């Protein structure tokens, strides 16, 4: 049995997103059905809709920053009941049996995680459909609880932008006594600043835009460095324990490697379109490292949401209607958003 559901989809790489009808499965005993209230707009949504990464199967319904209200639960569900707030992030399943899944690293499932959209749908066949839709059905094991004190709209981007920055900051030890840099003040970077500050690190924002200095400090940065200013960059040489690079445009990674201490880490979560050159001696001589990070596992994502509840952390958002999504994509390309679009899904009718 399936339930007809209204959605918004891209039908090709060159056509705008528009209304599209999909089917959602009826809840199995372990499923949670969620009426989607808000869905954040991630840059990945745009990349997949336009097939920038070359793997899109059309039609595609994007959206993996999903927050809503539980409407039904299966007979075996124990953590959710009708009326609860619940969330779904970037994945809805994994094999649950490989070494990584057993270590709560489902995002690195050795047999491939099932992404919230653009993955094989193991229940209905075809591809999974994301949060640009009225409802979603998700296994309880991949459904997340939302602290009641958070604004639901501003909390929805935590499901990607939040965990993408929280996970590497925790993994590489951001905290008291550490000097942490955040490169870029966009949808990811503004959350990186908030988390690094809340974790107790001395937080430095790197931005190319002098107009973002005031915002950076309001969000929690102790210092703001204009990265185009060589003298400002040089003043911080060899002083960082960790730098989190959130920029998805081509840029000079070596400039940030040179700011790390011995054993410092440059953690990259942005995805520039082209290979980025590295000066190997910048790694060898001071024993620095460059690392990548994806999202977090389900347990760490819940930890992040709970941390946000404890520290009253949420995203800076601009609320839009569903029919404004194509305009929002164009504005994202121009960095014309502070700092994350969120769709009010009540506008999908």
pLDDT per residue as tens digits for the range 130-185? 999 999 999 999 999 999 999 999 999 999 999 999 999 999 999 999 999 999 99
Query: Do both 69 and 101 map to the same domain?
Result: yes
| pLDDT confidence of residue 93 | 97
Is it the case that residue 271 has pLDDT exceeding 90?
A: no
Query: Do both 22 and 83 map to the same domain?
Result: yes
Based on the structure, what is the number of domains in the chain? 2
Burial of 15 (0-12, 13-18, 19+ CB in 10 A): middle
Query: Do both 19 and 122 map to the same domain?
Result: yes
| pLDDT confidence of residue 274 | 83
| pLDDT confidence of residue 2 | 84
On whether residue 67 sits in a domain, the answer given is: yes
Query: Do both 26 and 139 map to the same domain?
Result: yes
On whether residue 13 sits in a domain, the answer given is: yes
Query: Do both 179 and 207 map to the same domain?
Result: yes
List C-alpha distances in Å: 346 to 42, 68, 343: 19, 11, 9
What is the extent of the structural domain holding 188?
162-292
> How many alpha carbons lie under 13 Å from residue 168 in its C-beta half-sphere?
30
**Residues recorded for the chain:** 349
On whether residue 183 sits in a domain, the answer given is: yes
On whether residue 20 sits in a domain, the answer given is: yes
Q: What are the tens digits of pLDDT across the range 288-298?
A: 999 999 999 99
On whether residue 149 sits in a domain, the answer given is: yes
On whether residue 124 sits in a domain, the answer given is: yes
Query: Do both 31 and 94 map to the same domain?
Result: yes
Q: What are the tens digits of pLDDT across the range 179-198?
A: 999 999 999 999 999 999 99
Is it the case that residue 53 has pLDDT exceeding 90?
A: no
CA distance linking residue 250 with residue 220, whole number of Å: 26
Beta strand extents in the chain (DSSP E only): 2-9, 18-25, 31-40, 66-73, 85-88, 91-93, 114-115, 135-139, 144-145, 179-183, 202-207, 223-226, 240-245, 260-268, 289-292, 317-321, 340-344
Query: Do both 281 and 169 map to the same domain?
Result: yes
| pLDDT confidence of residue 33 | 98
DSSP string, 87-138: EE-SEEE--S-SHHHHTT-GGG-TT--EESSSSB-TTTSSB---SSBSEEEE
Mean pLDDT of 257-263: 96
CA distance linking residue 57 with residue 332, whole number of Å: 23
Query: Do both 18 and 152 map to the same domain?
Result: yes
Query: Do both 139 and 223 map to the same domain?
Result: no
| pLDDT confidence of residue 285 | 87
Is it the case that residue 1 has pLDDT exceeding 80?
A: no
Query: Do both 271 and 171 map to the same domain?
Result: yes
Phi, psi of 68 (to 5 degrees): -160, -165
Residue 263 in tokens = 């054993």
Mean pLDDT of 201-216: 94
- Cis bond before residue 85 (omega within 30° of 0): no
Q: What are the tens digits of pLDDT across the range 39-49?
A: 999 999 999 99
Confidence band, pLDDT 50/70/90 cuts, at residue 212: very high
Mean pLDDT of 2-15: 94
Mean pLDDT of 275-283: 88
On whether residue 307 sits in a domain, the answer given is: no
SS3 3: strand
Where residue 98 sits, what CATH number does that domain have? 3.90.180.10
On whether residue 166 sits in a domain, the answer given is: yes
Is it the case that residue 203 has pLDDT exceeding 80?
A: yes
| pLDDT confidence of residue 295 | 95
Confidence band, pLDDT 50/70/90 cuts, at residue 299: very high
Query: Do both 33 and 55 map to the same domain?
Result: yes
| pLDDT confidence of residue 349 | 73
Q: What are the tens digits of pLDDT across the range 74-89?
A: 999 999 999 999 999 9
Where residue 179 sits, what CATH number does that domain have? 3.40.50.720
Query: Do both 13 and 31 map to the same domain?
Result: yes
| pLDDT confidence of residue 325 | 97
Question: Is pTM beyond 0.85 here?
Answer: yes
- 137 and 130 in contact (C-beta within 8 Å)? no
């Amino acid at each position: 049995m399936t339930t007809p559901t209204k959605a918004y989809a891209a039908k090709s790489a060159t056509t705008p997103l528009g209304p599209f009808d999909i089917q959602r499965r009826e809840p199995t005993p372990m499923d949670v059905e969620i009426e989607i209230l808000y869905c954040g707009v991630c840059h990945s949504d745009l990349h997949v809709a336009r097939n920038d990464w070359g793997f899109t199967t059309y039609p595609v319904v994007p959206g993996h920053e999903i927050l809503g209200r539980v409407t039904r639960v299966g007979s075996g569900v124990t953590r959710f009941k009708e009326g609860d707030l619940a969330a779904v992030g970037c994945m809805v399943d994994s094999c649950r049996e490989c070494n990584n899944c057993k270590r709560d690293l489902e995002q690195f499932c050795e047999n491939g995680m099932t992404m919230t959209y653009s993955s094989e749908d193991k229940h209905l066949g075809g591809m999974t459909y994301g949060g640009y839709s009225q409802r979603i059905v998700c296994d309880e094991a991949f459904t997340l609880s939302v602290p009641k004190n958070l604004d639901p709209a501003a909390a929805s981007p935590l499901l990607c932008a939040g965990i993408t920055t929280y996970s590497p900051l925790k993994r590489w030890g951001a905290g008291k006594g550490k000097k942490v840099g955040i490169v870029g003040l966009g949808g990811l970077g503004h959350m990186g600043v908030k988390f690094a500050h809340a974790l107790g690190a001395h937080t430095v924002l790197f931005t190319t835009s002098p107009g973002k200095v005031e915002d950076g400090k309001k969000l929690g940065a102790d210092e703001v460095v204009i990265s185009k200013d060589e003298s400002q960059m040089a003043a911080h040489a060899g002083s960082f324990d960790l730098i989190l690079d959130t920029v998805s445009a081509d840029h000079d990674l070596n400039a940030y490697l040179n700011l790390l201490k011995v054993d410092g880490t440059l953690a990259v979560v942005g995805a520039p379109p082209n290979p980025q050159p590295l000066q190997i001696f910048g790694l060898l001589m001071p024993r620095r490292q460059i690392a990548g990070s994806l999202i977090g596992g389900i347990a760490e994502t819940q930890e992040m949401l709970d941390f946000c509840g404890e520290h009253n952390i949420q995203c800076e958002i601009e609320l839009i209607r569903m029919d404004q999504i194509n305009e929002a994509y164009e504005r994202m390309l121009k960095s014309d958003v502070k700092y994350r679009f969120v769709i009010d899904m009540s506008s999908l009718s």
